[in-house]
């Protein structure tokens, strides 16, 4: 009986980490490399992006500067190196504390990512960038 | 001594005094084994653009003009070169990962295409560094091709 309950817990936990597909963020998978391929973003990462980044960084955004530098919903249309470049920069600017910027911090303090959320975003972006980059 | 003369005297005195404020220039190193131009066969036009429009601030090969020895202008020059090298240093180009190269090429293309680089304050004193629309396009195309070739 005990064995089964452990198994159920493990399966349930597995479901928590199941990646789900969302149209907004479609980054082609390395193996496929077609524009239609969709990269699966982990649900917890998606939640952070949605809360703290997507408001400015989408193609419909009124924030011209933010939109100009990064549009999550158009990421899959970029060349592979640009996707890697954007992901690397995401990790950089979150690490340095430049993003979310001061204005966002002031206007939406409740939507600032926690330290753990920042760590999660950085490791996701770095790992995915590595995965998409051919060996040196 | 009248008021006007006194004012001038003070201004001249101040200018003389500020010359003694330490303001260390970033070191010039002409031979850099990780340099972008040194390690890659670039089209001549691209190499020229890099050398005349970028390398003064974004490499270890900065050429200091005469006014860079006179405060307070020297402070601006030193600051721009320091920040420029920190952001992007072509002399150390090959020492970065492919991921960082991708990031930097993406930024370079944006900055040059949008006309933010070279900076207006730089081209004011270096008119030869000004880039035409054609030159910007040519440079961006090269950068795009170069980065793509790294990801094949």
Cα(A112)–Cα(A98) distance, integer angstroms: 12
Distance from CA of B63 to the nearest CA of A (A): 30
> Mean pLDDT of all residues in chain B?
95
Tokens coding B50: 């890099």
In this predicted model, what pLDDT tens digit does every residue of B49-98 receive, in sequence order? 999 999 999 999 999 999 999 999 999 999 999 999 999 999 999 999 99
Residue A8 pLDDT grade (very low, low, confident, very high; cuts 50, 70, 90): low
In this predicted model, what pLDDT tens digit does every residue of A36-76 receive, in sequence order? 345 678 889 999 999 999 999 999 888 989 999 999 988 88
Cα(B20)–Cα(B97) distance, integer angstroms: 41
The predicted model gives A101-115 an average pLDDT of 94
Question: Is pLDDT at A7 greater than 70 in this prediction?
Answer: no
Chain B neighbors of A81, CB-CB under 8 A: 102, 105-106, 147-148, 150-151
Whether A79 and A127 have beta carbons less than 8 Å apart is answered as no
Q: Tell me which of B2 and B150 has the higher pLDDT.
A: B150
Q: Tell me which of A133 and A32 has the higher pLDDT.
A: A133
What's residue A39's pLDDT? 67
Chain B neighbors of A128, CB-CB under 8 A: none
Q: Does B104 touch chain A (CB under 8 A)?
A: yes
Tokens coding B63: 């050429």
Question: Is pLDDT at B143 greater than 60 in this prediction?
Answer: yes
| Interface pTM, i.e. ipTM | 0.85
What's residue B127's pLDDT? 95
Distance from CA of A59 to the nearest CA of B (A): 17
Interface test with B, best of A84, A90, A136 (most B CBs within 10 A): A84
Whether B78 and B72 have beta carbons less than 8 Å apart is answered as no
Asked if B102's CB is within 8 angstroms of A84's CB, the reply is: yes
Question: Is pLDDT at A118 greater than 90 in this prediction?
Answer: yes
What's residue A5's pLDDT? 61
Asked if B148's CB is within 8 angstroms of A79's CB, the reply is: yes
User: Residue B152's closest chain A neighbor by CA?
Assistant: A134
Asked if A89's CB is within 8 angstroms of B148's CB, the reply is: no
SS (H, E, C) chain A: CHHHHHHHHHHHHHHHCCCCCCCCCCCCCCCCCCCCCCCCCCHHHHHHHHHHCCCCCCCCCCCHHHHHHCCHHHHHHCCHHHHHHHHHHHHHHHHHCCCCCHHHHHHCHHHCCCHHHHHHHHHHHHHHHHHHCCCC
What's residue B1's pLDDT? 65
Question: Is pLDDT at A22 greater than 60 in this prediction?
Answer: no
What's residue A38's pLDDT? 58
Question: Is pLDDT at A19 greater than 50 in this prediction?
Answer: no
């Amino acid at each position: 009986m005990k064995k089964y309950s452990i198994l159920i817990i493990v399966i349930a936990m597995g479901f928590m980490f199941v990646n789900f597909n969302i149209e907004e963020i479609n980054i082609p998978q390395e193996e496929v490399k077609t524009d239609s391929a969709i990269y699966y973003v982990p649900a917890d990462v998606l939640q952070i992006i949605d809360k703290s980044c997507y408001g400015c960084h989408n193609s419909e955004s009124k924030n011209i500067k933010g939109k100009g530098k990064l549009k999550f919903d158009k990421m899959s249309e970029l060349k592979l190196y640009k996707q890697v470049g954007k992901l690397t920069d995401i990790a950089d600017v979150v690490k340095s504390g430049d993003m979310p910027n001061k204005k966002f911090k002031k206007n939406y303090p409740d939507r600032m990512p926690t330290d753990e959320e920042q760590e999660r975003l950085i490791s996701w972006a770095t790992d995915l960038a590595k995965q998409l980059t051919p060996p040196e | 001594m009248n008021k006007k003369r006194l004012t001038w005297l003070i201004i001249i005195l101040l200018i003389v005094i500020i010359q003694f404020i330490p303001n260390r220039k970033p070191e010039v190193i002409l031979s850099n084994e990780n340099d972008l131009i040194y390690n890659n066969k670039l089209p001549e036009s691209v190499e020229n653009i890099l050398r005349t429009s970028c390398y003064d601030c974004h490499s270890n090969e900065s050429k200091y003009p005469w006014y860079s020895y006179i405060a307070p202008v020297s402070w601006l020059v030193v600051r721009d070169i320091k920040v420029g090298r920190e952001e992007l240093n072509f002399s150390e180009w090959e020492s970065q990962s492919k991921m960082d190269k991708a990031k930097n090429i993406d930024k370079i293309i944006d900055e040059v295409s949008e006309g933010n680089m070279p900076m207006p304050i730089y081209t004011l004193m270096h008119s030869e560094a000004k880039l035409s629309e054609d030159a910007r396009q040519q440079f961006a195309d090269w950068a795009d091709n170069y980065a793509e070739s790294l990801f094949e």
